[in-house]
Amino acid sequence: MTRSIDPAELGLLGAAQVGRLDKTRRVHGTTNPTQMWLVTSRPLDQLPPLAFLTARRQEWGIENGLHHVLDVSGDEDRRLKVRNLNSLCVLALISRVSVAVWRRDRTKRQSYYRWRELNKARCNHLLHLLCRPPDKVQW
């Protein structure tokens, strides 16, 4: 369910549409209904309700495709503790490049953690993967 909205009505500059997403989640046999409120700057004629829902679902593709790998398999939250902001940015970039190379290299279902451990000392192999022309990426 979505509706057009005036930015002043919601108190958010640029808000053009608000939507409510009703979800149910089943955990250990118990069903938990929840509501999520979504806001966009795109008006209803540019982003109809179904497209609004599709955009929301695509956000989870990014979350599951990259952030989950970095947080869980890469243990990024625990490993990337530095005092310098520049160092943090460089290490975060290297982590993301590492995930991209892992996706390019894996030929079988191999966890990112296991792949990273096996390839720590294989610099020539990793350099070869980086220099290879890109294939179509499948997330």
Residue 46 has what pLDDT? Answer: 92
* Listed residue (121, 116, 91, 95) closest to 105, CA to CA: 116
Alpha helices, DSSP H, located in 1-139: 7-10, 49-62, 68, 76-79, 85-105, 112-118, 123-131
The region that residue 33 occupies, defined by phi over 0 for left and psi between -120 and 50 for alpha, beta otherwise, is: beta
Rounded mean pLDDT for each run of 10 residues along the chain, 139 residues in total:
78 86 86 88 90 83 72 69 83 84 78 84 84 67
- Report the helix count and the strand count for the chain, using DSSP H and E: 7, 3
Residue 73 has what pLDDT? Answer: 66
Say how far residue 39 (Cα) sits from the centre of its chain: 19
Global pTM?
0.51
